[in-house]
Amino acid sequence: MGNETINETGLTTLITRGGVYYQVPGTNPRDLITNLVERLNPVAVDRDALLKAALEREALMTTAIGHGIALPHPRNPLISSAGDQFVAVAFLEKPVDWQALDGEPVHTALLIVSSSAKLHLHTLSRINYFCQREQFRAFLANRPSPEEIIRVITQEEAVW
């Protein structure tokens, strides 16, 4: 990959590309991932390949990280350009048992699609930073608007 520009992979950019989706239906992780991938705005990745890869990754081990949040993602990059990667935020229609270690049902899923392992880990570390903060988890649980999500993340990323 060479010189990926880390600054261009800030969460605000990734979420703006991926979108925010509300009332995503499903009674299990498989249905929810399927329904989210179907709803994605046009993206530079084959939806069928993305769905297959995300479900294969989920079958290996749950992507639920606790506190009502899951981070589904393909195990390997499906896109080659850093400019095409994205994070799609999904607020679930109903909380779902995602086999999280803390036993808490998932209410929010963030689908991560990265162009390299390095950028995937970078994105995961940013999301993990936010999701470890109780205030941010409560913010997500209230299903904020896309504009509110971008505003809160932008404020935080500005001081990094």
Residues belonging to the active site: 73
Edge-to-edge strand list for the sheet holding 20-24: 20-24, 86-96, 106-113, 69-70, 64-66
**Both structure tokens of 131:** 């999701």
C-alpha pair distances (Å), 150 with each of 13, 94, 109, 145 = 9, 24, 16, 9
Nearest to 110 by CA among 137, 90, 140: 90
C-alpha pair distances (Å), 58 with each of 62, 75, 81, 156 = 5, 9, 24, 30
CA pair distance 125, 120, nearest whole angstrom: 9
Residue 16 backbone phi and psi in degrees, to 5? -60, -40
